[in-house]
Amino acid sequence: MGEALDRLLDLLDLEQIEVNIFRGRSPGERRLRVFGGQVAGQALVAVGRTVPANRPVHSLHAYFIRPGDPSVPIVYTVDRVRDGRSFTTRRVSAIQHGEIIFTMSASFHHAEPGVEHADPMPDAPPPEQVERNSDRWARILGGDHPRAFDSPFDLRSVGPLSVEAERDPSLRTTRSLVWLRVDGELPDDELLHVCLMTYASDMTLLDSVLLGHGLSWLDGRTRGASLDHAMWFHRPFRADRWLLYAQSSPVAYGARGLARGEVFTADGRLVVSVMQEGLIRTTPAAD
């Protein structure tokens, strides 16, 4: 495994400081606030450690309440709401400086026999034929730009990057396809794979809002933050195998943009569904 993945796995390895209370940290570098996917992933680790391993998570619903401070630890307190015969429910709050910065409810359920259907995977070239995003960012922005830093995920966008759509109106769209996988081999720990996908789900999803308007997080006039985030886990999957993240934005209004995503395995199985609303504020472009 690479150093970036080692650092991420270390971030997800929370310290248990009391029954139902866990402590996580942030990497601290390159960010003014804690990355939302990190908080969501750590929160899922916390609740997952209070649930039997044979009952996997099937859904989570989260709210980002305040920006996280990357310079201090995050304390996660878990509320054991229900332990039923079929379902287990947990709530978790992330706390910094005595205030709640994030809340999540998660439900756990072991799959039972029943009806089955799923939307097909959209057409996309295989990941081996798509250039790594890190290489594209380095070519566009220069290798020393912060956006070109080493990532624990291998991301490969089939369509334009936001900075490309900013420069070329013909590339603007509210849909995107991204191949992704963890950049290394992982153990057979289902919760770990789910937590890593939770982390990754926040990395590119709001870009589907920006792409349609020629905006970029790097344009100097666009600021944003995740407001809420929901995920449904339909089938087991591995985060260290290629996954196609199909993303789109059906609506944006009132400085809020809604984005949705579907995650498919390379052989076409729909394994995760995602919804997120984000705050996106822009200032007028300079003449």
Q: Which two tokens stand for residue 230?
A: 């929901």
Catalytic residue among 202, 216, 248, 249: 202
Q: Which long-range contacts (CB under 8 A, 24 or more apart) does 86-93 make?
A: 86/110, 86/112, 88/51, 88/52, 88/55, 90/47, 90/50, 90/51, 91/47, 92/43, 92/46, 92/47
Catalytic residue among 134, 226, 247, 248: 226
Calculate the CA dihedral of residues 132, 138, 141, 145 and round it to 10 degrees: 120
Q: How far is CA 146 from the centre of its chain?
A: 19
Catalytic, 226? Answer yes
Catalytic, 202? Answer yes
Which residues, other chains included, contact 97 with Cβ-Cβ below 8 Å and sequence gap of 6+?
Answer: 69, 72
Catalytic, 201? Answer no
Cβ–Cβ < 8 Å for 247, 177: yes
Q: Which two tokens stand for residue 218?
A: 């790097």
Q: What are phi and psi of 117, to 5 degrees?
A: -165, 165
Q: What are phi and psi of 162, to 5 degrees?
A: -60, -40
Q: Which two tokens stand for residue 144?
A: 């020393």
CA within 13 Å, CB half, 259: 34
Cβ–Cβ < 8 Å for 192, 143: no
d(CA 50, CA 22): 11
Catalytic residue among 38, 134, 248, 276: 276
| Active-site residue set | 202, 226, 276
